[in-house]
């Protein structure tokens, strides 16, 4: 058990590139913290500095209150599990798991005890005598975790441990990792670029962009109260819709509907909007087929939407509708498009996505009445992308 503190840590590589910039983070004893962000944002670098595999250029790293910047990896009592786990093919599962304990010259009795306990936690008891080649991908990944767990380290570090597994297995293993962490109660930092994994796994999630920590919070708070456009757009699938909008008197003009503002919204926007311009964010689930909404005037507005494409997910329907003008062009959102591989695709401008109840009768190619829960609008500063809070 251990606390980990990253105190104003910067990593500058030999070529001068700053991969991590003035990073501050406190991980509590027994906490399961997820570090998430697009590829290349510095997650692995941050994790490798905690492990001692990478020098810290500036700042301090503390484990249980002790500065450990100069402590060798083997003296940090940390175990790390990577994406590419190398099991020894000629050894059985049991021998693979026992290996680090043999190296540490523990008595055989203690080794057997720890391997037995770990195999139980990981559901590998019946596989101890098998060779890795005869195991499934998920079982092999569990053996790799077992090799870390047997050492009972103070801290676990995991770098995209599930990304080699196929989608279905990844979901299963996600549940496993959660279960194992809560059973072991060991402090864990887990790196992933997959926001779904981040949101379903940890106690708290730290979101990074271009070496800079953007926000650290519980999954629920990140989702409901993102601090800026980047976090708002990165967390959630399908992503939040963004529109550029004008505040005029008592209403806000979205490209497809004018929304009356209540007093709280007005107060927030009076301070936040620049010359009456603001970026509005609306999550897809805050739209609905108007025909399925009871009293539509409560918290909401209805509008006519040309439905371009519908995708049925079984339990719900994604309806993409078009609108004119009001597109947002912001550096933070461009970064997200690049990460999603969408930067080279035909422009997605002028199209928003609504998540509708499966009962909806909206049809592709036709215009339909949609309802929007205007109490759920989020506002962002048009220049720096910061959230404008509505109290």
CB-nearer residue toward ligand ADP: 45 or 378: 45
* Site size toward ligand ADP, by CB under 6 A: 12
Residues 136-165 that bind ligand ADP (CB under 6 A): none
Query: Shortest Cβ distance from residue 212 to ligand ADP (Å)?
Result: 12
Antiparallel, parallel or unpaired: β 32-36 and 204-209: parallel
**Which listed residue (25, 41, 155, 173) binds ligand ADP by CB under 6 A?**
41
CB-nearer residue toward ligand ADP: 91 or 338: 338
CB-nearer residue toward ligand ADP: 18 or 316: 18
**Which listed residue (8, 13, 325, 342) binds ligand ADP by CB under 6 A?**
13
CB-nearer residue toward ligand ADP: 33 or 362: 33
**Which listed residue (3, 5, 40, 57) binds ligand ADP by CB under 6 A?**
40
CB-nearer residue toward ligand ADP: 42 or 326: 42
Query: Shortest Cβ distance from residue 48 to ligand ADP (Å)?
Result: 7
Strand, coil or helix: what is 161? coil
CB-nearer residue toward ligand ADP: 38 or 146: 38
**Which listed residue (4, 6, 36, 42) binds ligand ADP by CB under 6 A?**
42
Query: Shortest Cβ distance from residue 92 to ligand ADP (Å)?
Result: 33
Report which of 215, 219, 278 is spatially closest to residue 247, judged by C-alpha positions: 278
CB-nearer residue toward ligand ADP: 19 or 198: 19
> What strands lie across the sheet with 78-81, from one edge to the other?
78-81, 155-159, 187-192, 32-36, 204-209, 212-217
Binding track over 18-37 against ligand ADP, x by CB under 6 A: -x-----------------x
> Which structure tokens are listed for 108?
């055989």
Query: Shortest Cβ distance from residue 20 to ligand ADP (Å)?
Result: 7
Torsions phi, psi of 250, nearest 5?
-95, 15
CB-nearer residue toward ligand ADP: 26 or 55: 55
**Which listed residue (25, 31, 34, 45) binds ligand ADP by CB under 6 A?**
45
- Secondary structure of 255-278 as H, E, C letters: CCCEEECCHHHHHHHHHHCECCEE
Bond from prior residue into 312 cis (ω within 30 degrees of 0): no
Per CB under 6 A, 44 contacts ligand ADP: yes
Alpha carbon distance 240, 51 (integer Å): 35
Alpha carbon distance 351, 307 (integer Å): 10
Query: Shortest Cβ distance from residue 137 to ligand ADP (Å)?
Result: 22
Strand, coil or helix: what is 190? strand
**Which listed residue (36, 43, 128, 143) binds ligand ADP by CB under 6 A?**
43
> Which structure tokens are listed for 73?
């990896």
* DSSP element (H, E) containing 183: helix 167-184
Q: What is the DSSP string of 266-320?
A: HHHHHHH-BTTEEEEEE-GGGEEEGGG-SSTTTTEEEEEEEEEEEEE-SSEEEEE
Strand, coil or helix: what is 66? strand
CB-nearer residue toward ligand ADP: 17 or 88: 17
Of 38-46, 107-115, 247-255, 268-276, the window that binds ligand ADP (rule: CB under 6 A) is 38-46
Antiparallel, parallel or unpaired: β 187-192 and 32-36: parallel
Query: Shortest Cβ distance from residue 161 to ligand ADP (Å)?
Result: 13
> Which structure tokens are listed for 361?
């009768």
Q: How many C-beta atoms lie closer than 10 Å to residue 110's C-beta?
A: 11
CB-nearer residue toward ligand ADP: 41 or 387: 41
Alpha carbon distance 91, 270 (integer Å): 68
Query: Shortest Cβ distance from residue 56 to ligand ADP (Å)?
Result: 13
Using N-to-C axis directions, what is the helix angle for 93-103 and 108-121, rounded to 10°? 130
Of 41-49, 58-66, 118-126, 381-389, the window that binds ligand ADP (rule: CB under 6 A) is 41-49
Alpha carbon distance 150, 18 (integer Å): 36
User: Applying CB under 6 A, which residues contact ligand ADP?
Assistant: 13, 15, 17, 19, 37, 39-45
């Amino acid at each position: 058990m251990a606390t980990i503190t990253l105190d104003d840590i910067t990593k500058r590589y030999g070529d001068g590139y700053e991969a991590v910039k003035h990073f501050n983070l406190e991980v509590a004893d027994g906490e399961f913290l997820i570090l998430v962000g697009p590829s290349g944002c510095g997650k692995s670098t941050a994790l490798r500095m905690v492990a001692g595999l990478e020098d810290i250029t500036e700042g301090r790293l503390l484990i249980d209150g002790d500065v450990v910047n100069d402590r060798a990896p083997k003296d940090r009592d940390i175990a790390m599990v990577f994406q590419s786990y190398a099991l020894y093919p000629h050894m059985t599962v049991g021998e693979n798991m026992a290996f680090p304990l043999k190296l540490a010259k523990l008595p055989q009795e203690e080794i057997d005890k720890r391997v037995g306990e770990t195999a139980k936690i990981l559901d590998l008891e019946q596989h101890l005598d098998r060779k890795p080649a005869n195991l499934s991908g998920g079982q092999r990944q569990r053996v790799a975790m077992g090799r870390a767990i047997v050492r009972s380290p103070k801290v676990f570090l995991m770098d995209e441990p599930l990304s080699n597994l196929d989608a279905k297995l990844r979901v299963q293993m996600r549940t496993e990792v959660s279960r194992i962490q809560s059973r072991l109660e060991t402090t864990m930092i887990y790196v992933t670029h997959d926001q779904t994994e981040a949101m379903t796994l940890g106690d708290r999630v730290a979101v990074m962009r271009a070496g800079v920590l953007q926000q650290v919070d519980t999954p629920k708070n990140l989702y409901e109260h993102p601090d800026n456009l980047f976090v708002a757009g990165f967390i959630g699938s399908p992503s939040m819709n963004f529109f550029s909008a004008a505040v005029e008197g008592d209403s806000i003009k979205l490209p497809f509907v004018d929304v009356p503002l209540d007093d709280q919204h007005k107060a927030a926007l009076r301070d936040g909007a620049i010359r009456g311009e603001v970026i509005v964010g609306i999550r897809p689930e805050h739209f609905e087929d108007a025909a399925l909404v009871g009293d539509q005037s409560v918290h909401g507005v209805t509008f006519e939407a040309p439905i371009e494409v519908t995708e049925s997910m079984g339990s719900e329907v994604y309806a993409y509708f078009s609108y004119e003008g009001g597109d947002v062009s912001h550096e933070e959102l461009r970064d997200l498009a690049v990460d999603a591989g969408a930067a080279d695709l035909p422009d997605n401008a002028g199209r928003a996505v609504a998540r509708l109840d499966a009962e909806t009768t909206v049809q592709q190619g036709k215009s339909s009445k949609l309802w929007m829960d205007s109490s759920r609008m989020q506002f962002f500063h048009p220049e720096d992308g910061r959230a404008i809070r509505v109290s």
